[in-house]
Amino acid sequence: MKKNYIIIFIFLFTFLSCEKDDICVETTTPNLIIKFYDNDNQTVAKQITELTVWADSKDSIYINKSLDSIAIPLNLNENFTRYIIENNTIKDTIKFIYNRNDIFVSRSCGYKTIFENFQIESNTTNWIKSISINNSTIDNEKAAHIYIFH
Amino acid sequence: MKKQHIFIYFISILFTISVNSQEKLDTLKTKESYGIRIGLDVSKPIISYLDDKINGYEFVGDIRIFKNYYAAVELGFTNKTTIEDYLNFTTKGSYFKAGFNYNAYKNWKGMSNEIYIGLRYGLSFFNQTLNSYTPHVKGTYFIPNTLEPNTEFNDLTAQWIEIVFGMKVETFKNLYLGVSVSLNNMLNTKEPENFKNLYVPGFNRVFLNNAGVSFNYTLSYLIPIFKKQKK
């Protein structure tokens, strides 16, 4: 009988020693996803051959890349983020404004921030022809949130 | 040499005879105490003293209702601050557990120790305070500030079931030392809005699969009410 108890205890402790909610594996704060399209043929994605992206007074996220879409983080300490997107040495500045909403995820991840009422307050048009917002709530990274036509 | 062997032989025969005669005499029935046993968890005040993030106490009590069956209760209070990577919260509340123990240990005559298995229903009333959190982001391009909302979530409840394994040893007359471990399974909780009951008083840490573990180390005293013949 005593032996059985010991076996039960060992069995249970081996199971309890691992805590799978200690590592954050859930998706948390989403990035802003921008997709570039051809202004003449608005259903066709168009690459930028020399793309450099940085937020106002910060380091570059992308340097001289050839891409048709980018994922960039938004500032969680402000209700706006200003990004500079450079296409073949021509710069354009876009100012995004939004409301932040913190949503509980799990023990290990804590809270994630989602962005609501997402808008473009202002942008320059040196190479950008037009911008359209696909989704004004940024709560996932499944599809592009804004389209830039050039 | 030979003499010695013969001597031992005779002594051993005497011994067996005397043991046998004792067993025959031992048909006397012994008495067992029945009564209320009350005590407290001695580990919780020590943990409270050593760790400034936890403060708690627990009282225990049981009563022998039938041969090997005991009705048991635990009452306690916990105030604990939990620190996770991106969260810091305080849980404060009281709990009540009630159920029974089945003693599976066959005592020798005159002893009253227990190795038991038990079942409990647990109930807790508590508050959670979200002291601070840092929104979780991938990468380090923008580093978010830690926010201190101090949001209070009041009037929360939880109900659960426990399976208890434990033992109690009578050290001095009517004074018992006990140790037990419980495996808990949450039945239902009243969850806070945009937060989660990650810790519940009495249940302790709530794991992802709604399971939990609790321990106690008790010192309890049996108040004898009546004595019954053991068959």
- What is the rounded distance in angstroms from the CA atom of residue B29 to the CA atom of residue B169? 22
Q: What is the mean pLDDT of residues B85-101?
A: 96
Could you tell me the pTM of the whole model? 0.80
**Cβ–Cβ contact A110 with B under 8 A:** yes
Neighbour count for residue B215 (Cβ, 10 Å) = 13
pLDDT the model gives residue B19? 46
Judged against a pLDDT cut of 70, whether residue B35 lies above it is answered with yes
Q: What integer best gives the mean pLDDT of chain B?
A: 88
ipTM: 0.81
- What is the rounded distance in angstroms from the CA atom of residue B21 to the CA atom of residue A3? 34
Q: Cα B61 to chain center, whole Å? A: 11
CATH topology assigned to domain B34-226: Porin (2.40.160)
Judged against a pLDDT cut of 60, whether residue A147 lies above it is answered with yes
Tokens of A115: 């962005």
pLDDT the model gives residue B21? 46
Which residues in chain B are closer than 8 Å to A19, comparing Cβ atoms? 207
Judged against a pLDDT cut of 70, whether residue B27 lies above it is answered with no
Share of chain B above pLDDT 70, in %: 86
- What is the rounded distance in angstroms from the CA atom of residue B47 to the CA atom of residue B49? 5
Instruction: Give the domain ranges of chain B.
Output: 34-226
**Cβ–Cβ contact B138 with A under 8 A:** yes
Residue B72 exposed, middle or buried by CB count within 10 Å (0-12, 13-18, 19+)? buried
From B79's Cα to the closest Cα of chain A, the distance in A is 19
Q: Could B147 and A102 be called an inter-chain contact, meaning their C-beta atoms sit closer than 8 Å?
A: yes
- Beta pairing partners, A119: A97
Which residues in chain B are closer than 8 Å to A20, comparing Cβ atoms? 208
Judged against a pLDDT cut of 90, whether residue B148 lies above it is answered with yes
Q: Could A12 and B134 be called an inter-chain contact, meaning their C-beta atoms sit closer than 8 Å?
A: no
Which residues in chain A are closer than 8 Å to B136, comparing Cβ atoms? 24, 28-29, 105, 109-112
